[in-house]
Structure 1
Amino acid sequence: MSDQVSAAGAPPKNGSERASDTFVTYVLDLCKVKKTQSDLRTGLGLPVERCNYLHRYLVPRLPERMHPDARRAHYAVAALIAARPRATREADTHAAGSRQPKPGWYQRANLGASLAEAVNNQVIKPGSAEGDLHLMARQSSGAIHPRLPALTRHLLTAGVAVDWAVLLEDLAWWNRDRDRIATRWLEAYFRTNAPEPEQDPAAGSSRLTEEN
């Protein structure tokens, strides 16, 4: 693959794990060492050129020829994983011992679905979640990256899971396929957080009159 878009975006072969999942598993294993986790965390919200402590762990893992957006997505997700709250890290360690089969790719939760779950759990107000999604839908990945550390930590602290592999692929493709990915996020949000339809009072009274 010339000028690779993303090691994460490569489709799985012969039923093997997606490259994005393999990368996430690699980073989760790295984070078992406290010093390594601390080094990876220094890249939070930063461009690759300022992630000096991450290179030793990620450069050997990533293709030499890689699109800059994809490279930054890998560095960003590695830092976000390293910055998980303690409770989330402990839960992930426990879950790693009994891994369940993952659902189909398009059934997995993207950031829109995670925000909807936070709204359903009354962790984030609907207006704030929708505002964040609509704002990100208009921005480049360069503007989104600095927002992710606070947003994902807020979700994780409240017990809302983030699918790192899905986020990795979405970020890797964002600048070249933003409308499609943003639409997926919004669709997932409104599908997961579908409000009850408002009933027209006049229509309700009309039905009661007919029944009587």
Structure 2
Amino acid sequence: MTTPAESRTPAVTSQAPEASKRQKNRAAYAAFTANIERLCRTDPGAHAALRAGLRRDLNHPRARPMHRLLATRVPEECDDATAQAYYTVASLIAAQPRHAFSPSQEEDEHDTDEPEAAQAQNLQESDEVDKEDAPSVPAPYGSSFGSTLGQAVIAQGASLRMSAAENRINLLTRQSTRGIHLHLPAAVNQVRAAGAPIDWGQLLADLVDWPYRSGRISRRWLQDFYRITAAYQD
């Protein structure tokens, strides 16, 4: 006869591989979005091409210039829904004003003064330290878009009203896969105007999973939004 504690053990064990995979995917998504931000910062032509693909599906004529830039950056042989998630996030990042991609003065000085070999060595050492210090339990999800929308409401001096944000989050969480891609640009503009930071890597992760887990993702967005705005009065 098994005890209650023993009966729960398999469930905990089965969750570990999924959490580890999610953590690995998040790192890849974050690397992709950082690469797109760097591309937009350094290449005005690429910035314009990616921005032109906003609200366009993969086969739209205005999305064609994006293929040259993203073909080697999205997972090889991924399905159309996954590719669309990458294209949408890339275009959302590119839709930001140019000054959003300007590196700080400290970053410029650091990049200029430090040789590339030294930078590579530092990155390797930093990676080794991170691996040693990394917790055995994978980190939770990143900041969801619901959390970002909530931060936009409570931000000091923000003009986004609670009622408008609530309407927006309810609209987003009712969308189909195609619908979420069409409605996100307006929502991103709202939170950007309020100065709320967007976790692009987590947004990409959620869009990749939306066709299969939209209910779970929607619930997390709503819960995060209401947790942050719980003490806010419109």
> Which bracket does the TM-score occupy, shorter chain normalised?
0.7 to 0.9
**In 2: Cα distance, 1:196 partner to 1:154 partner:** 18
Instruction: Give the counterpart of 1:40 among 38, 50, 60.
Output: 50
Letter paired with 1:112: G
Counterpart in the other structure of 1:75:
87
**Contact map agreement 2:33 2:200 (CA 8 A) in 1:** yes
Instruction: Give the counterpart of 1:133 among 153, 159, 169.
Output: 169
Counterpart in the other structure of 2:205:
169
Per-residue deviation, residues 52-87 of structure 1 (Å, max 9, x unmatched): 110001112223321222110100011111111234
Counterpart in the other structure of 2:149:
115
**Contact map agreement 2:23 2:139 (CA 8 A) in 1:** no
**Contact map agreement 1:114 1:155 (CA 8 A) in 2:** yes
Shift of 1:27: 0.7
Matches within 5 A, 1:139-154: 139-154=175-190
Identity %: 31
Shift of 1:106: 2.9
**Contact map agreement 2:147 2:221 (CA 8 A) in 1:** yes
Counterpart in the other structure of 1:208:
none
Shift of 1:89: 2.3
**Contact map agreement 2:152 2:196 (CA 8 A) in 1:** yes
**Contact map agreement 2:148 2:198 (CA 8 A) in 1:** yes
Shift of 1:130: 1.4
**In 2: Cα distance, 1:30 partner to 1:45 partner:** 20
**Contact map agreement 1:45 1:145 (CA 8 A) in 2:** yes
Shift of 1:186: 0.7
**In 2: Cα distance, 1:158 partner to 1:87 partner:** 16
**In 1: Cα distance, 2:173 partner to 2:154 partner:** 22
Letter paired with 2:84: R
Counterpart in the other structure of 1:27:
36
Q: Which runs of 5+ in 1 are unaligned?
A: 1-8, 198-212
Letter paired with 1:20: Y
Decide whether aligned partners of structure 1 residues 169 and 95 sit closer, same or farther in structure 2, where only a CA change above 3 A counts. Answer: farther
Aligned length: 180
**Contact map agreement 1:85 1:153 (CA 8 A) in 2:** no
**Contact map agreement 1:10 1:19 (CA 8 A) in 2:** no
Instruction: Compute the TM-score of the two structures, normalised by the length of structure 2.
Output: 0.69
Decide whether aligned partners of structure 1 residues 21 and 107 sit closer, same or farther in structure 2, where only a CA change above 3 A counts. Answer: same
Decide whether aligned partners of structure 1 residues 158 and 96 sit closer, same or farther in structure 2, where only a CA change above 3 A counts. Answer: farther
Q: Which runs of 5+ in 2 are unaligned?
A: 1-20, 111-129, 131-137
Letter paired with 1:113: S
Which has more helix, going by share of residues? 2
**In 1: Cα distance, 2:52 partner to 2:85 partner:** 15
**Is the partner of 1:18 in helix, strand or coil?**
helix
Per-residue deviation, residues 120-147 of structure 1 (Å, max 9, x unmatched): 1233111121112122222112012122
RMSD: 2.5
Instruction: Compute the TM-score of the two structures, normalised by the length of structure 1.
Output: 0.76
Matched, 1:159 2:195: yes
